[in-house]
Amino acid sequence: MPIVANSNKEELGRAMGNEKREKMASMLPSTGKLLREVARLHVQLQRNCVAYCGGTTSTQCTVLTELGRSSPVTLAELSRRVGFDKSWTSRAVEQLVQEGLVEKVASTQDRRTVQLSLSSTGQTRLADLNGTLNTLAEQAFKHIPEEQHAMVRSSLELLQQALLTLSTEATAQIGTVDGGSTCGED
């Protein structure tokens, strides 16, 4: 067996350590893939829990949640915020109006448009929905060691801020690029 000088052993050890770290890193999912999977699982759990929201569909829950965040809004603005086609949003809103969860009021600035907002019954339904979803998050946290809760919460706040910033930047760029997407570009 050849004798290797100590400095060569250290270099070899570092190189093998680097190789091992690189191999392990290549086996881990990318940040993007991990984030997409977390989002997918979270949405899937939320959809499964929507049944607790009085039989409200996930589309209706999305509309109720957005109206709870920022009403009154026009149908066009609501459609943009939830990311649904305007006709799809209109159908969901009409059903919510019929159920007494959403109110339509003629705009004071433009009589051709209506402002959408939650009725008192809609606010109650949204409070129930938020309670259900908050319980779901608490249940997920039970599967995380308690000493890591603050770190996870802090990481979620950082991620939320980063995504809000990215969303604001992307919104500002819309219309500045001729027909192309700006997703993932600097």
Mean pLDDT for the stretch of residues 1-24 = 58
Cβ atoms of residues 44 and 140 within 8 Å: no
Looking at domain 56-135, its CATH architecture is Orthogonal Bundle (1.10)
Burial class (CB in 10 A: 0-12, 13-18, 19+), 95: middle
Residue linked to tokens 């209109």: 90
Q: Count Cα neighbours of 15 within 13 Å in the Cβ-side half-sphere.
A: 6
**CA-CA distance, 70 to 81, in Å (whole number)?**
10
Q: How confident is the model at residue 186, as a pLDDT? A: 52
Q: Is pLDDT at 175 greater than 60 in this prediction? A: no
Residues sharing a CB contact under 8 Å with residue 37, sequence separation 6 or more, in sequence order = 29
| pLDDT tens by residue, 35-84 | 899 988 888 888 777 765 567 778 888 899 999 998 799 999 999 999 88
* Residue 105 main-chain phi, psi, to 5 deg: -130, 135
**CA-CA distance, 143 to 134, in Å (whole number)?**
15
This prediction has a pTM of: 0.66
Residue 1 pLDDT grade (very low, low, confident, very high; cuts 50, 70, 90): very low
